[in-house]
Amino acid sequence: MPRIWICLRLVLPAVWIGLVVGLAFMETPMKFQAPGITTELGLGIGRLVFVALAAAGWGILVVLTLIAQARPRETRGGWLLIGAMWVLMVVESFVVRPALAARSDIVIAGGDPGESWLHYGYIGIELLLLALLVWYIVLGAKRLRIE
């Protein structure tokens, strides 16, 4: 396998980790502390940021999957990690984020959607995704050392 694919197998998950940490865990809470940012404006910015984060995550996941398919000796552990990432991304993109968007619509319209577990669910999914990405990098680095 060309060395570039092996390098991408390590670099792409690291880029994804940086995006999640930077955007989901740093930018999101900080934007609401900026002077002049209303809740409605912060929610609107957040939607744009999370759509971009999801698009980047899906793109990286597709490329990681293609790289794994191109590797005839991809380990079962590597495939399990990729599969788990797919599951988390599907749940986040098609269950949790649409529900959060519906709640933000209510807030933007001046309503109160009440308490919800959704934010904690989203944070939990992101933390699991980060753990899987780190594990995938470690697995890939071990394989690189062996090859």
Who has greater pLDDT, 80 or 76? 80
Instruction: Tell whether the model's pLDDT for residue 27 goes beyond 60.
Output: yes
Q: pTM for the full model?
A: 0.91
Q: What is the pLDDT of residues 115-128, one digit of tens each?
A: 999 999 999 999 99
CA–CA separation, 141 and 82 (whole Å): 16
Confidence band for 7, pLDDT divided at 50, 70 and 90 = confident
The percentage of residues in the chain with a pLDDT greater than 70, rounded to a whole number, is 95
Q: How far apart are CA 108 and CA 117, in angstroms?
A: 19
The pair of structure tokens assigned to 41 is 């404006």
Give yes or no for a contact between 89 and 58, defined as CB atoms under 8 angstroms apart.
yes
Q: Which residues of 82-98 are buried (b: 16+ CB within 10 A; e: fewer)?
A: bebbeebbeebbeebbe
Query: Looking at the predicted structure, is the pLDDT value of residue 1 above 70?
Result: no
Enter the tokens of residue 101. Answer: 């968007």
Amino acid at 88: L
Q: What percent of the chain has pLDDT over 90?
A: 76
